[in-house]
Amino acid sequence: DQQVKQNSPSLSVQEGRISILNCDYTNSMFDYFLWYKKYPAEGPTFLISISSIKDKNEDGRFTVFLNKSAKHLSLHIVPSQPGDSAVYFCAASAGGSNYKLTFGKGTLLTVNP
């Protein structure tokens, strides 16, 4: 049972345009959501997070939107840069369970110059 789903295995965008990565979840106990970026043969790097009490969080070029009623979140990258090309993982936590994270399978973003 996959509780966090990233239905797009890959996404390709032009440099300077917006990248939108999507994530859906099924567990209504999740109260915190995170996005990680991963380059090949490296560990994931934390990007941005959002609590379930908010619907938007912004950090520079990165914005995460949360729609609790739809159990959906998205990561917007504006403007996209070639260095953003990586695999992006969505993760969720129910907090009280030792702050464990449940990850999606990831979306490979390619930003073309």
Partner 1 sequence: SQTIHQWPATLVQPVGSPLSLECTVEGTSNPNLYWYRQAAGRGLQLLFYSVGIGQISSEVPQNLSASRPQDRQFILSSKKLLLSDSGFYLCAWTRDLIYEQYFGPGTRLTVT
DSSP string over 19-54: EEEEEEE--TT--EEEEEEE-TTS--EEEEEEETT-
* Residues in region 4-33 near partner 1 by CB under 8 A: 6, 32
Q: Does 104 bind partner 1 (CB under 8 A)?
A: yes
Report the candidate in 21, 18, 19, 17 with the shortest Cα–Cα distance to residue 34: 21
CB of 79 to partner 1, least distance (A): 25
* Residues in region 61-90 near partner 1 by CB under 8 A: 89
Report the candidate in 78, 104, 95 with the shortest Cα–Cα distance to residue 30: 95
Q: By rule CB under 8 A, what count of residues binds partner 1?
A: 24
Residues that bind partner 1 (CB under 8 A): 6, 32, 34, 36, 41-46, 49, 89, 91, 93, 95, 98-106
